[in-house]
């Protein structure tokens, strides 16, 4: 064995590569792998009965099988569309309200206490009413999701608007910017870091809300699919569905919000 190889090997064994800058971002893989391994061992040796918990390898097999099934994918898409519609609906109402609340003190004093009051209520407590009004379907789910998404978007945008320095408004005025370009070229970018964190929070909230509603009211989606699988005893399918949701939620979070946030990090 050459000296270089020996050096490389000892470096690996002492874990210095892992602590190196290049790999440090992936350290989280270790506890995750340990967790999965523990799961596999515990179930493989029946420390937890298979009827309560499938083995990890079994879940993986079912997972890769399921994601080739169009009906399974359609359910995930359905849930995702509900989440997205809820956010878009909430955003289109919350953005103008929050902007006016953030810039006009009187409006803020009129509206924000009421928003806080409703925000303090557990969102899902409205669900039975929504089901009564709209029936147990996608509309109730979307309305519920938009209610849940409203609060983080409203408060972050309002905060962002309040934080815009007065001087920047003076700059837009000096160069005779019209109302529309003041909003699109000054206000929107100025509040965007706040707005992005609000949207991200709303996205996280809405996945929980949508899954909960699908389980509770049997709206077609991945939530009701999990419920169905577990109640009929096919736990591995349920776990595979959870794994699928996690994958979709994380990938979209990274792709969409990750991109937005890395843009904001460049200058903020």
Partner 1 sequence: MGLTDPHVQLDSITKFYDAQEKQLHALNDVSFGIEQGEFVCIVGPSGCGKSTLLKIMAGLDRPSSGQIRFQGDPLFGPHPKISMIFQSFGLFPWRTVLENVEYGLEMRKVPRNERRGFSRQYLEVVGLAGYEHMYPKQLSGGMKQRVGIARALVVEPEVVLMDEAFSAIDEVTADILREEVAEIHRETEKTFVLVTHNLSEAIELADKVVVLSSRPAKVKKIFPVKLERPRDRTHSSFLHIHKDILHLLKEELENTIIRHKLRGIKELQKLHDMEISGEPGKAKSQFVT
Binding site for partner 1 (CB under 8 A): 165, 167-168, 170-171, 173-177, 181, 185-186, 189-190, 192, 264, 266-268
DSSP 8-state assignment for residue 177: -
Smallest separation (angstroms) from partner 1 to the CB of 167:
4
- Secondary structure class of 131 (helix, strand, coil): helix
Please check whether residue 170 is in contact with residue 231, taking contact to mean a CB–CB distance below 8 angstroms.
no
> Quick one: 26 or 175, whose CB is closer to partner 1?
175
Smallest separation (angstroms) from partner 1 to the CB of 109:
15
Smallest separation (angstroms) from partner 1 to the CB of 99:
17
Smallest separation (angstroms) from partner 1 to the CB of 152:
22
> Quick one: 189 or 228, whose CB is closer to partner 1?
189
> Quick one: 117 or 174, whose CB is closer to partner 1?
174
Smallest separation (angstroms) from partner 1 to the CB of 129:
42
Closest CA to 18 of 7, 33, 29: 29
Task: Report d(CA 177, CA 175) in Å as an integer.
Answer: 6
Smallest separation (angstroms) from partner 1 to the CB of 178:
8
Q: 228: exposed, middle or buried (C-beta count within 10 Å: 0-12, 13-18, 19+)? A: middle
Please check whether residue 118 is in contact with residue 164, taking contact to mean a CB–CB distance below 8 angstroms.
no
> Quick one: 77 or 164, whose CB is closer to partner 1?
164
Smallest separation (angstroms) from partner 1 to the CB of 228:
47
> Quick one: 114 or 174, whose CB is closer to partner 1?
174
Cβ neighbours for 225, distance < 8 A, ≥ 6 positions apart? 72, 75, 241
> Quick one: 182 or 234, whose CB is closer to partner 1?
182
CA dihedral 159, 160, 166, 171 (to 10 degrees): -160
> Quick one: 36 or 257, whose CB is closer to partner 1?
257
Instruction: List Cα–Cα distances, 61 to 39, 235, 241, in angstroms.
Output: 15, 13, 12
Please check whether residue 161 is in contact with residue 102, taking contact to mean a CB–CB distance below 8 angstroms.
yes
Task: Report d(CA 234, CA 81) in Å as an integer.
Answer: 26
How far is it between the farthest Cα atoms of the chain? 78
């Amino acid at each position: 064995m050459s000296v270089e190889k020996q050096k490389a090997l000892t470096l690996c064994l002492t874990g210095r590569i892992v602590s190196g800058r290049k790999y440090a971002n992936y350290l989280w893989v270790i506890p995750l792998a340990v967790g999965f391994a523990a799961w596999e061992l515990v179930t493989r040796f029946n420390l937890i009965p298979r009827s309560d918990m499938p083995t990890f390898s079994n879940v993986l097999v079912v997972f890769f099988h399921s994601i080739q099934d169009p009906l399974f994918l359609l359910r995930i898409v359905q849930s995702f569309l509900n989440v997205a519609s809820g956010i878009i609906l909430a955003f289109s109402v919350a953005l103008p309200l929050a902007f006016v609340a953030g810039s006009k003190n009187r409006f803020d004093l009129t509206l924000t206490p009421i928003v806080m009051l409703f925000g303090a209520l557990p969102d899902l407590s409205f669900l039975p009413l929504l089901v009564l009004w709209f029936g147990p379907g996608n509309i109730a789910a979307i309305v519920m999701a938009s209610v849940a998404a409203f609060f983080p978007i409203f408060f972050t945008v309002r905060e962002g608007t309040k934080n815009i320095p007065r001087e920047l408004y003076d700059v837009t005025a000096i160069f005779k910017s019209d109302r529309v370009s003041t909003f699109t070229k000054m206000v929107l970018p100025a509040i965007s870091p706040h707005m992005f964190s609000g949207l991200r929070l709303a996205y996280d909230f809405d996945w929980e809300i949508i899954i909960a509603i699908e389980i509770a009211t049997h709206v077609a989606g991945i939530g009701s699919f999990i419920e169905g699988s577990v109640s009929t005893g096919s736990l591995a399918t349920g776990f595979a569905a959870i794994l699928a949701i996690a994958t979709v939620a994380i990938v979209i979070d990274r792709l969409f919000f990750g991109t937005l946030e890395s843009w904001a990090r460049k200058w903020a």
